[in-house]
Structure 1
Amino acid sequence: MTRPPTAAQRRVIDAADPVTGRVKGTEAQLDALVKRGLAFRHPRPPHDHFLTPAGHRIREAVAEVPEKPAVAAVADSGVFAARVGGEEEAPDTGPTRVREVHSAWQGLLELRRMTNPDGATDRPCGWERTHLVQAAALALEAAEHRPQGGDLPGYRVRATPQPEAVAVHAPDAEVLRACAATLEGAGWQVGEYTEPRTRARYLLASPRRL
C-alpha cells in the first residue's frame, strides 16, 4: 500500500494552484512527489512542476455528500470555485467575481498550453478530464453565462454515469443552445438530448481529444 505523503509534502500539495496544479517547494520535496507519482516535471522550460491526477485527488479529497450538487472546488478551502449552478444563493456577478473567473480561465488555458503534447489551447487537457464538472462550469462562467442560483434561472452542470461526460441543464432552448456553442468553442463535443421521463432537453458534453 502506498504510504501517504509526509506533512511537508502535503503542505506543498495543498498550496498548489487550484486551477493549473502548479506546485512549488524545495528540490527534494518536488523530487519526492515525482517519485510517488503525485507530480510531474514539465519537459519545457521553465520546467515547472504540476500535480498529476493522483496529486489532485489527494489535494481535493473530501467526503461525498449524497443529494448535493457537484461542487467545483474543495469546500471551505477559500480558493476559486466555478459556479456549477443550483446554489441556494444568487450568483455573485460583481467586478471582483468577473476578475476571478477571467484569471481562472486564463490559468486553465495556460495549463492546456503547458500540458497538451502539442501545446494546443483549443482542446481540454488532462486536468479537465479528471475535473469534468469544474472544467465545464468554468468555461460557461468565463463566457458570462449565468448559473442557476437562488430564485434566478440559469445553467446547471452535473456529473453523469458516462465516462468523460457531463450534463448541462438550462431553463429554455435558447440558453441551452448558447451553452452548447460556448462549450464547443472551448473544445468540448456537445450533443442535445431529451430526458425520457420529463421530456426536458439537456446537453451531454465531453472533452474533445483531437
Structure 2
Amino acid sequence: MARPPTPAQQRVIEGADPDTGRLRGTDAQLAALVRLGLAFRHPRPPHDHFLTPAGHRLREAEPEPAAPAAAEPGGVFAARVGGAEEAPPGPSRTREIRDAWQGLLELRRMTNQDGATDRPCGWERTHLVRAAALALEAAGHQPESADTPGYRVRATPQPEAVAVHGPALPEYTATLETAGWQCGEYTEARTRTRHLLASPRRV
C-alpha cells in the first residue's frame, strides 16, 4: 500500500481545480504525487499536472482510517474481477464504482492523443483484467462470488486480450463494445463452455 501524502502534498491536492483537477505546486510536490499515483503529467505541452481518479477520491473523501487497498498504481479503482474469493461489496460500492468509471473516462480524455473517451487508454492496455472488469461493474453487471453467479474476467496468453466468463455473454459483449472493446465469442475445447475474448479497440 502506498504511503499517504504529506500535509503539504495534501494541500496541493485540496487546491486542485474543482472541474479539471489541474494542480499547482512545486516540481518536487508534483513529482511526489505522480509517484504516489495521485497525479499524472499531461503528455502534451505545457505538461501540466492533473489529479488521477485516486487523487480526486482522496480530495473528496471524508477522513478514513486507512487508504483504500483497492487502488491500482495507475490510480484507477480496482474493479471486482469475479471469483469465489470475492468479498461482498460494502454499502458505498455503487458510488465508488461510478466515480471510478467517470475518472477513467477523464483519464482517457487526458491521455488519448485525440482526447477520445470512447476507446481505452494506455493504462487500460497495461491492466486489461481490471479495466474490463471496471467496464462491466460500472454498467451494473454482477461479478461472480461464492453466493452469486456473474462474470469472471481472466488473463489469457494472447496479447491485449482477456477472457470473460459468465451467464450473460451477449450483455457483457454489448457493455464492453460500448466501452471501446472488441469482443468475440468462443467455445472452450475441453469443457465446451462459451466465453468472450475481449480486446481494447485501437480506432
String of CA shifts for 1:143-186, please: whole Å, max 9, x gaps: 00000011211000000011000000003xxx111001100000
Secondary structure in structure 2 of the residue aligned to 1:145: coil
Aligned sequence identity (%): 68
Specify whether residues 199 and 163 from structure 1 end up closer, same or farther in structure 2 by C-alpha distance, changes over 3 A only: same
Structure 1 position 190 matched with structure 2 position 183? yes
Aligned partner of 1:81 in structure 2 is: 78
Aligned partner of 1:167 in structure 2 is: 163
Output aligned runs, 1:60-71, within 5 Å: none
Secondary structure in structure 1 of the residue aligned to 2:144: coil
Counterparts of 2:125 and 2:29 in 1: how far apart (Å)? 26
TM-score normalized with structure 2 length = 0.68
Instruction: Identify unmatched segments of 5+ residues in structure 2.
Output: 14-21, 35-39, 53-67, 72-76
**Of 161, 172, 180, the match for 2:173:** 180
Contact 2:41 2:48 in 1 (8 A): no
Counterparts of 2:98 and 2:145 in 1: how far apart (Å)? 20
**Of 127, 133, 140, the match for 2:136:** 140
Aligned partner of 1:47 in structure 2 is: 48
Counterparts of 2:126 and 2:142 in 1: how far apart (Å)? 24
Counterparts of 1:187 and 1:89 in 2: how far apart (Å)? 26
Contact 2:30 2:49 in 1 (8 A): no
Structure 1 residue 49: deviation in Å? 5.5
Counterparts of 1:116 and 1:89 in 2: how far apart (Å)? 32
Aligned partner of 2:100 in structure 1 is: 104
Structure 1 residue 28: deviation in Å? 3.3
Secondary structure in structure 2 of the residue aligned to 1:204: strand
Secondary structure in structure 2 of the residue aligned to 1:101: helix
Counterparts of 1:42 and 1:160 in 2: how far apart (Å)? 30
Aligned partner of 2:199 in structure 1 is: 206
Contact 2:86 2:144 in 1 (8 A): no
Contact 1:156 1:170 in 2 (8 A): yes
Aligned partner of 1:125 in structure 2 is: 121
Counterparts of 1:134 and 1:25 in 2: how far apart (Å)? 31
Instruction: Identify unmatched segments of 5+ residues in structure 1.
Output: 1-7, 17-21, 52-75
String of CA shifts for 1:117-137, please: whole Å, max 9, x gaps: 000000100000000001000
Secondary structure in structure 2 of the residue aligned to 1:192: strand
Specify whether residues 197 and 25 from structure 1 end up closer, same or farther in structure 2 by C-alpha distance, changes over 3 A only: farther
Structure 1 residue 88: deviation in Å? 2.7
Contact 2:108 2:116 in 1 (8 A): yes
Indicate the RMSD between aligned Cα atoms, in angstroms: 3.1
Contact 1:90 1:152 in 2 (8 A): no
Specify whether residues 108 and 30 from structure 1 end up closer, same or farther in structure 2 by C-alpha distance, changes over 3 A only: same
Specify whether residues 147 and 93 from structure 1 end up closer, same or farther in structure 2 by C-alpha distance, changes over 3 A only: farther
Counterparts of 1:49 and 1:41 in 2: how far apart (Å)? 7
TM-score normalized with structure 1 length = 0.66
